[in-house]
Every structure is written in structure tokens, then in C-alpha cells.
Chain A
Amino acid sequence: MALVLSGLWIGQNVNVLPAAASLNAPIYDQLFKVLFSIGTILFIGIFGLLLFSLIRFRRRDGETGDGVAVEGNLQLEIFWTAIPAVVVLFVGIYSYDIYDRMGGMVPLSDPHAMHGGMVASSDSGTAEGDSAVIQASVLGTPSPTSERIWGGIGSPMAGGATALPVEVTALQFAFLFHYPQGDITSGELHVQKGQPVELRMEARDVIHAFWVPEFRLKQDVIPGQPTVLTFTPIKAGSYPIICAELCGPYHGGMRSTVVVHEPDEFSAWFEKNTTTTVASALSSSSTG
């Protein structure tokens, strides 16, 4: 009992994760605390039992006898078959719930389920044209309609807010971000606090992985498989974007930054970069 309580206490007070900066990060941290509590209880329990046995039942000097000839105990064995089974079932159901809340169960092959927020956007004048452009550029193949878009995990659109579409190109050894709404190309990802972001990701050469530890999000970007990842940042600040799949000699240097702006700050950034010419947008991407 004391073991269970202390495990729960440690689990609740453990602080080993980076800042939680996206909508699904706090959900993730809940799961982490539960897993950490259960893990602590099991580990300390088993470690304690082992240590106790080694000390209590050690062979003392001059002892030559044997232990008790216990070959097994069916009730006991059923009991400890049940412990991991119950724990695993509980963890499985709980993590399914977490996964669902993170938006992991959105079907893959229906792009409209992923694009829901954007298609419903009010500025219908550009929305249609935009989405056609995006479709074509994301899919990038002669027959875009038959192409399957592979979904990643991502928080569902909160409150029907308009998602900001960003095209991400991963190549050796950088991420490039293109904003179709303002025709901005950047080496850093700029997003607005509270607004969902829809990343349409594509890899040029080899497999890369888009990872932002503070968002608790990771998605492989595989050549030939356009992938959509959605998330909602909830905390302003700058966070690292890290490539997490071995992609060549400079894999460790393939990093960028995601800047989460306050809303007015973001519009200022967006306005500033939209008005510039294509040439200076390109130069800003090479310096960033």
C-alpha cells in the first residue's frame, strides 16, 4: 500500500519532460504520469522483493543444505499472470483514449477529414483556388485525385478554427516551410498561438522525421508519401524542430526552429513577409 502510494506520489511529481507547448502535449503528459506511476510501483516492488530475497535467503557461512522443494503453485502463478494482464489492459484502454483525444484515429484516406477546418474557411474567394494549389503542390504527381494522403497523429481542429496550411519540404539536410496563403518561403516555422496548423509534408530524397519535443509530436516524412500533420500550439516561444530519422552525415545538424507568436505578432510577421518580393523571400529563407 505504501508502495502504491509512493509510486503515485512520484508519478504525480515527476518532472522530466520539456515544456508542453501544443494542445496534445498536456494530454501526453497525463499519459506519461500514469505510465510513470505504474512503472515505478512495479519496478520498486520487484526490485525490493529481489533485494529482500537475496539478503534474507543468502547462504550463510557453513550452510550446505538446500531450500524448500517447491515446484510451483498454480494459484500464485494465475495471480501473477493476472497482474500484468490487468495492468496491460488498463494501460491499453487508457492510451487508446489518449490517442483518440490526440486525433490519432482520424481515417487516413479521406483528405477532407483532415482538411475540414480549411475547407470551411469563410474567405471563399481564395479558399477554392488555394486548396487546388495546395492539393497539386502537396501531391505533386500527374494524377493527384487518386493519390492517398498519409495522415499523421495530430490534435483535432479545436472549435472550428481555421487551420493555417504550411507546406513542409524535408531534404538533406534542412526543412523548408512554404506558406501558400502568403507565398512565403522560410527556413523557420512561424505559427500563431491558439491557431491550428496543418503541415503538408513531403520528402525530397530520403526519409526524414519532423519532431518538436515541446509539441510531443513526431512524424516520419517518407519520399513518395505526402503526409499531413496537424497540431495547435498553445504556448508562445521558440522550440527546436529536429530531424529524428537517420538521413545522412549531417543528420545531427538537421535542425530548425518553430516560433509560436502571439496573434498580433504573427500577423505582423505574416504581413511583412507577404509583401516582399519572391527574391527577398528566398534570401530570407537562406539566411534563416
Chain B
Amino acid sequence: MTIALTPQTSSPPPGLQPEGWLRYLSFSLDHKVIGLQYMVAGFFFYLVGGALAGMIRAELVSPISDFISRETYNEVLTLHGTVMIFLWIVPVVNGAFGNYLIPFYVGARDMAFPRLNAVAFWLIPPAGFLLIASYFIAGAAQSGWTAYPPLSLTTPAAGQVVWILSVLLLGGSSIFGGINFIATILKMRRPGLKMMQLPMYCWAMLGTSILVVLSTPVLAGTLVLLSFDIIAHTGFFNPSLGGNAVVYQHLFWFYSHPAVYIMVLPAFGLVSEILPVHARKPLFGYTTMVYSILGIVFLGLIVWAHHMFTSATPPWMRLFFTIATAFIAVPTGIKFFNWLATLWGGKIALNSAMLFSCAFIVHFVFGGITGVALAQVPFDIHVHDTYFVVGHFHYVVYGGTVFVIFGSIYHWFPKFTGRMLNEDLGRFHFLITFIGFNLCFAPQHWLGLNGMPRRVAEYDPQFTLVNQISSVGALLMALSTLPFLINVLWSAFSGRVAGDNPWKALTPEWLTSSPPPVENWKGEAPLVQHPYGYGIPPGQIDLGAATGRELWSSGQ
């Protein structure tokens, strides 16, 4: 009798899924396993993409093309862009953290479609290895990650076709993930949990997934047409066969500008989770944060042509896209001021997670300011396709998103493994990443303004010194992964035991054991209606200790 009444959770049934470390190499359906699979695979590709970046910076130490051949250089820069975007940033901020955290945040035991989820992950390793193998077998694509025709039609076809195939697989993985996130957030919420009570990362992932589902199919269709142009000699984008090369640019950027938001919106969400915990304060302005995410999603879809201001676009189009682009600064600005207000008056722990998040704020504000400048047609005409743009977007996607990825790993590592990362090593990692990054990319703005175009293997000798400074920064960034790797490997086995909730956080993933069990909670999922309920209510402030500013800002 008692056996029949025993809840399932007390003795986990012998599952069909492998146990132990082997499950990380299996077709596991557990969202946490899939999340970590995404993360480790993504980090592997980060190292590959970083090595490629190292080759680029090594070539640019001297103004002549001497380190690798010109063809190889173009293959390397194409692979660097593709690997970093499609195999590192998109899979990690969406796939890794999304899969790990979203089911916790909505109070579910897994994603809406676990099998689709596993399929989405297992598309990534073959696509990645296909892409990298193309370099060794037939020579990789040489036309940049943008693959503009007619250049992409005239460079060696095999590499370009493999590139298309690989990006199509990765795009498919991204769409599967997006559908899964939308379904999970909208339909798998625990009864009683309202949309406006969800942690901010859910809203960020909802916005991101809408962008993925709306725009990725456009890229897929475009690349299929491009492959027809290459294989079957159709003329969709080939001017000599009556096609139009600019149409490709419109279709490509219709995906690839939203792709920037696919890379940064989840990072915005992750920062919104990290800051309140380590500042011991509620997230400031929850409602405006939600609306600004939706505003970014809407505006993000209608700004693509700002990548084409020099491509003979008509004047009205240039004006429209200038205005739309510049207006993204408004919802983005709201988010940044809200984060600053979240920190204001807090009890801020200056640990690695917080430092990486704050560096993200600094870098993204800088990238945002250069972004608003780039949105202005007359400004863009001069610096388009130069190192100014290279500096700008690395500030956004590396200084922004990659810093958040590192911050998030420091924040959630105790949950993943049950052990803490070493804080001293972490802060050391932060310091050299921060210095290396700024040394590498800040001087590139000057290079672009003064006449160095992007994607060149050789350049005017007057730029040698600044390029060498930039390369030293890149070397520092490469070295900075060492303390991180040592820290992660050492701490995973012999770090300090974390306990269930080392940060005393309130969001649901911390209200279970570390690492969490299969199906997330023993017993019923907790109902968290105030994910940011930190802080002393304003009435209980010791008036003697409080400053006037604190009273003023909390008096509302």
C-alpha cells in the first residue's frame, strides 16, 4: 500500500537516459544537461574563433601581407565572424543560459518540447565541424561572414556552399530553440505565476525568440537562393545574369541586424538577474524594462538598411533608417539608467560576476554612443566598412555580450556544479580581460576615422604602431582565458562547496539543490511572485544613517 502511494520523486525511476558524466555526451532531454552541452560546445568554438582572431591580429602586426597568404586571410576572417556569431554567442546566450534557466523561471520541470530541444543542440556540433573542416578539405569561404554576391559567387564554390550549409543548420537550430522558448514561456508557467512576475531574463528571451522566429527564415531563404546562384548558375543576385546584388544585402541584413539583438537582448536579461542579487536591491523599473525590451524588438526589425548607407540606397530610405536606428537608443537608454538606479544605494558585492556586468555597462554605453553616431548617414558615409565599425561592433558583442557570458558563468557556476569559483582568480581574469579588450578595440576607432578599411591583410604603414597596440591587447585577451579555464577546471572538482543558495538569491533556480535534480525540484515547484524582493522596505531605514538622496529616491 505505502509503495503505491510513494511519490515518484522519492526514488527516481531507472531512466532511459544515461547517468553521470556520460549524459553530457548523450541525446539527453534534460534542459539542464542541454544547457551545459550548449555552453561547453560554445566555449570550445570560442577558443577556435579566438585562435582565428589571433591569426588576424598577428597578420596585422606588420603593414604588409606576410604571416598568412591573402586567400587564407580572407578565409580566416570569414570563419572568425561566422564561428563567433553562430557557434559561440548565439548558442551560449540563447541556448545555454536559456535552456538552463527558463524552465526554472517559469516553474516548469523542463522545456515545452524536450526532444526538439535536444535536436536543436545536436545540430550544432556537426554544423560547426563541417564549417571548420571546410578549411582543411576544400578551403573555407572567403567572402566574409556577410557573403555578399557577386564576390561570394566568384570565390571558390566548395567552401562557400559548405558555409551556406553550415549556417542553414545553425539557423535551423536557432529557430527550433526560439519556438521552444516562446512555447515554454507562454504555456508552461506554473499556475498562479503571471507574466509580469517573471524574471526579466524570460522577457528578454521572449523578445529574442520572436526576433529569431521572424527573421532567421529570411536568412535561410536568402542563402538557399545564393546557393542556387553558385551551384545552378541561376541569377537571383548575379548582376551579369540580370540579378540584383543589393536585394541580397537587404535580405541578409533583415536577419543580421536583428541578430545583433538576438545576441544582446539575452545579455540584457542576464545582467538584470545578476545586478539585483549582488547589489541586494530590487530591479529598478520592472515595467519600463519590459516595455523597452518590446520596443527594441519592434525597432530592431526595421533598421536593417543602416548597413547599406553607401550601397546607393535612395535618400528617403537613408533618412528613415537613420531615424529608426537612432531611436533604439531610447529603450536601450531606459534599461541602462534603470541598471544604474538598481546599483544606486545598494550593498554592492564587488565580485567577479558584478565586475563583468559593470564592465558590460561601460562597454555597451560606449558602443551605443558610437552606434548612434554611425546611424547618422553623413557620419556613416566616412567610416562605413572601416575599423571604426570593427571597433564599434566588438564593443557591442564582445564588451557587451561576452563580458555578460563570463559574468553569468561566475554567477551560476555554483548552481551548475555545487561548487564556487575562486574569486581572486576571477577578479584577475576580469582585470586582464578588461585591459586587453580596451587596448585591442579602442584604438581601432581611430584607425577607421583615419583611413583604415576593414578586412584588409595589408595597410598604410602610418597605422603600424596603433595596429601593434591593438594586437598586444588581443594577446592579453588570449592569455586571459587561461586563468578562467584553470579556475573552472579546478573549481569544478575541488572548489569550495557552494550550498544551495550561496548568493541568497530569490529567483527559483536557487530554491533547489545545487546541482538541481532531474525535473528541478523535489516536490512542488515554488511560486515566486517577487523575484526581486530584496532590500529593506523604505519605512525601516535608519534615518540617521540614510543620506538625503536615498530618502528622496525612495520616497515615491
Contacts and interface: CB of A to CB of B under 8 A. Distances in A.
Contacts of B9: none
Contacts of A219: 310, 312
Contacts of A98: 376, 378
A207 B333 contact: no
B450 A70 contact: no
A218 B385 contact: yes
B169 interface: no
Interface SS of A by simple majority: mixed
B490 interface: no
Contacts, number: 300
Contacts of B71: 249
A202 to B, nearest CB: 11
B379 A69 contact: no
B469 to A, nearest CB: 15
A54 B455 contact: no
B385 A252 contact: no
A249 B451 CA distance: 19
B293 to A, nearest CB: 14
B326 A225 contact: no
A151 B282 CA distance: 53
B336 to A, nearest CB: 7
Interface residues of A, number: 87
B453 A243 contact: yes
Contacts of A58: 348-350
A249 B453 contact: no
Interface stretch (B102-110, B122-130, B533-541): B533-541
**Of residues B71, B284, B451, which shows the largest number of chain A Cβ atoms within 10 Å of its Cβ?**
B451
A98 B373 CA distance: 13
A252 B457 contact: yes
A240 B451 CA distance: 9
A16 to B, nearest CB: 6
A42 interface: yes
A244 B346 contact: no
**Of residues B71, B143, B535, which shows the largest number of chain A Cβ atoms within 10 Å of its Cβ?**
B535
B286 interface: yes
Contact of A218 (B146, B384, B532, B533): B384
A278 B286 CA distance: 73
Interface of A: 16-18, 27-28, 31-32, 35, 38-39, 42-43, 46-47, 49-50, 53-54, 57-59, 63, 65-77, 80-81, 83-85, 87-88, 91-92, 95-96, 98-99, 102, 104-108, 150-153, 205-207, 209, 211, 213, 216-220, 222-225, 227, 240, 242-253
11 contacts: A17-B450, A28-B382, A42-B365, A66-B347, A68-B550, A70-B284, A77-B285, A87-B329, A220-B311, A223-B239, A244-B453
